[in-house]
């Protein structure tokens, strides 16, 4: 891709909302304007704005005071994909490629580069646009922490903090009523939120997608605790966890969504099975979208700021097709293609898995 003089930077936030998005928008806008004198243009509602030509200028005033605010001032969409736009014809849904239209809008706005902030879906689309000639820089966002090549994504720390607080609160009611309490958390096909919050909250059992569980092992742990005088048990389960030989539990399907399978309900399933198996009173709770809302924690505000300012440096050096990432104590970049090639999931030799097992936390195996 040839070198170009940078004058105007476009930025969009795609996929699910996430604490820290505004920190990134603020960092990109302030550093681009202050350090290089570039214009910054905000594309509304993720790729929907690029397809429909909706956006507006971002100034220093627009991003003043947004660091602590959750969500995104630009709006987002987890359905819009310029390469796969759903079109309803009669009773059927067809998909059309509107990427050329999106690229034309990019050029009509006079943009020189696109900063795409999102998870694997958003960045996969960004990678395709880059291959079609659009200069792109990616910033990883997801509470699931499942993007390859980066130790952490912003939003993850806030989600873990919210889940850990919920576990702490369930702990007291579980102890008071001598119950088995189950907390279902997000993460889709990765168990990072369940692992980190379960460990931090002192859960007795953590169930994640990477390690299929057996009801026999789960009930054995609960019964053993009861036999040793432990009058309650705490279980954290990721929404994508499944029984060995079984399937994930689906809430519903939405064919218009890039992720048509909506997970949910494994907590309720465990509640029924454990109560039937052990005879112990069991209750479940699901945090759902609470994990994604509210003000970002200080680590996510700082990570968003680091990612946003580093993305501007990548633009300055015209390193297209790169995603900002954190590796150890360093912020650097890797090709977007590497980041979206496969999901980053929990492995049996993860240090926190080993530490959890060392303090007698069961993974239901």
The secondary structure of 147-174 as a DSSP string is: BTT-S--BTHHHHHHHHHHHHHHHHHHH
From first CA to last CA, the distance across the chain in angstroms is: 50
Q: What is the pLDDT of residue 255?
A: 58
Q: What is the pLDDT of residue 256?
A: 60
- 110 plus 207 within the same structural domain: no
Q: What is the pLDDT of residue 1?
A: 67
- Within a domain: 50: yes
- Within a domain: 1: no
- 164 plus 242 within the same structural domain: yes
Q: What is the pLDDT of residue 6?
A: 94
- Within a domain: 82: yes
Q: How many domains does the chain have?
A: 2
Residues in Cβ contact with 42 at an 8 Å cutoff, skipping those fewer than 6 apart: 10, 11, 12, 25, 55, 56, 57, 58, 62, 73, 74
Token pair of 315 as six digits: 């633009």
Q: What is the pLDDT of residue 86?
A: 86
- Burial letters for 83-112: b for 16+ Cβ neighbours within 10 Å, e otherwise? bebeeeeeeeeeeeebbebbbebbeebebb
Tell me how far CA of residue 210 lies from CA of 159, 242, 319, in angstroms. 19, 9, 35
Residue 85 maps to which CATH number?
A: 3.40.50.450
Please compute the mean of the pLDDT values over residues 57-62 and round it to a whole number: 97
- Within a domain: 363: no
Residues in Cβ contact with 176 at an 8 Å cutoff, skipping those fewer than 6 apart: none
d(CA 353, CA 94): 44
Please compute the mean of the pLDDT values over residues 233-256 and round it to a whole number: 86
**Residue found under tokens 């929907």:** 48
Please compute the mean of the pLDDT values over residues 17-39 and round it to a whole number: 97
Please compute the mean of the pLDDT values over residues 263-279 and round it to a whole number: 93
Please compute the mean of the pLDDT values over residues 135-144 and round it to a whole number: 97
pLDDT of 3 higher than 80: no
d(CA 65, CA 283): 41
Q: What is the pLDDT of residue 44?
A: 98
pLDDT of 193 higher than 70: yes
Residues in Cβ contact with 25 at an 8 Å cutoff, skipping those fewer than 6 apart: 11, 13, 42, 58, 63, 66, 72, 73, 74, 117, 308
- 301 plus 181 within the same structural domain: no
- 51 plus 174 within the same structural domain: no
pLDDT band at 2 (very low <50, low <70, confident <90, very high): low
Which residue in 94, 148, 104, 95 sits closest to 129, CA to CA? Answer: 104
- Within a domain: 2: no
- Within a domain: 346: no
Please compute the mean of the pLDDT values over residues 306-312 and round it to a whole number: 98
The helices-and-strands tally (H runs, E runs) of the chain is 12, 15
- Within a domain: 351: no
Q: What is the pLDDT of residue 257?
A: 62
- Model confidence pLDDT, tens digit, residues 312-356: 999 999 999 999 999 999 999 999 999 999 999 999 999 999 999
- 193 plus 247 within the same structural domain: yes
- Please tell me what DSSP assigns to residue 244: T
**Mean pLDDT computed over every residue of the chain:** 94
- 15 plus 147 within the same structural domain: yes
- 96 plus 146 within the same structural domain: yes
Q: Considering 17, 120, 144, 146, which one is annotated as catalytic? A: 144
pLDDT band at 263 (very low <50, low <70, confident <90, very high): confident
Q: What is the pLDDT of residue 88?
A: 84
- 223 plus 123 within the same structural domain: no
Instruction: Check if 144 is active-site.
Output: yes
Q: What is the pLDDT of residue 270?
A: 95
pLDDT of 23 higher than 80: yes
Q: 92-96 and 85-89 as β-strands: parallel, antiparallel, unpaired? A: antiparallel
Residue 208 maps to which CATH number?
A: 3.40.50.460
Query: What is this structure's pTM?
Result: 0.93
Residues in Cβ contact with 259 at an 8 Å cutoff, skipping those fewer than 6 apart: 78, 121, 188
Structural domain including 262 reads: 159-291
Which residue in 62, 14, 68, 18 sits closest to 41, CA to CA? Answer: 62
- 46 plus 88 within the same structural domain: yes
Q: What is the pLDDT of residue 91?
A: 82
- 137 plus 188 within the same structural domain: no
- Within a domain: 347: no
- 142 plus 12 within the same structural domain: yes
E strands along 203-321, which residues? 205-207, 233-238, 250-253, 261-263, 282-286
Q: What is the pLDDT of residue 258?
A: 62
Helix, strand, coil percentages, rounded to 5, for the chain: 40, 20, 40
User: Torsion angle, CA of 347/348/349/351, rounded to 10 degrees?
Assistant: 80
- 286 plus 272 within the same structural domain: yes
Please compute the mean of the pLDDT values over residues 251-256 and round it to a whole number: 66
pLDDT of 131 higher than 90: yes
- Phi, psi dihedral angles at 20 (to 5 degrees): 110, -10
State the burial class of residue 75 (Cβ atoms within 10 Å of its Cβ: 0-12, 13-18, 19+): middle
Q: What is the pLDDT of residue 228?
A: 87
Token pair of 340 as six digits: 């979206």
Q: What is the pLDDT of residue 360?
A: 95
């Amino acid at each position: 891709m040839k070198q170009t003089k940078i004058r105007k930077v476009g930025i969009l936030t795609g996929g699910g909302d996430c604490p820290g998005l505004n920190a990134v928008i603020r960092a990109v806008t302030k550093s681009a304007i202050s350090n290089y004198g570039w214009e910054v243009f905000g594309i509304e509602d993720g790729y929907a704005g690029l397809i429909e030509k909706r956006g507006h200028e971002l100034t220093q005033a627009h991003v003043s005071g947004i660091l602590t605010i959750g969500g995104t001032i630009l709006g987002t969409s987890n359905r819009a994909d310029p390469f796969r736009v759903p079109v309803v014809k009669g009773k059927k849904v067809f998909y059309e490629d509107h990427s050329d239209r999106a690229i034309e809008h990019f050029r009509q706005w006079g943009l020189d580069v696109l900063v795409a902030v999102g998870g694997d879906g958003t960045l996969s689309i960004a990678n395709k646009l880059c291959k079609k000639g659009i200069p792109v820089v990616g910033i990883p966002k997801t509470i699931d922490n499942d993007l390859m090549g980066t130790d952490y994504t912003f939003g993850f720390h806030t989600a873990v903090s919210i889940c850990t607080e919920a576990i702490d609160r369930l702990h007291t009611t579980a102890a008071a009523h001598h119950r088995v309490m189950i907390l279902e958390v997000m993460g889709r096909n990765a168990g990072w939120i369940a692992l980190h919050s379960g460990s931090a909250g002192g859960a007795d059992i953590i169930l994640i997608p990477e390690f299929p569980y057996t009801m026999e092992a789960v009930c054995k742990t609960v019964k053993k605790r009861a036999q040793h005088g432990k009058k309650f048990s705490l279980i954290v389960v990721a929404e994508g966890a499944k029984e060995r030989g079984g399937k994930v539990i689906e809430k519903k399907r939405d064919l218009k969504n890039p992720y048509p399978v909506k997970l949910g309900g494994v907590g309720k399933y465990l509640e029924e099975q454990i109560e039937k198996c052990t005879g112990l009173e069991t209750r479940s709770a699901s945090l759902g979208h609470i994990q994604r809302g509210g003000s970002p924690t200080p680590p996510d505000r700082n990570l968003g700021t680091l990612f946003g300012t580093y993305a501007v440096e990548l633009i300055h050096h015209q390193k297209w097709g790169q995603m900002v990432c954190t590796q150890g104590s360093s912020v650097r970049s890797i090709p977007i293609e590497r980041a979206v090639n496969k999901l980053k999931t929990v492995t049996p030799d993860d240090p926190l898995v080993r530490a959890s097992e060392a303090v007698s936390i069961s993974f239901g195996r």
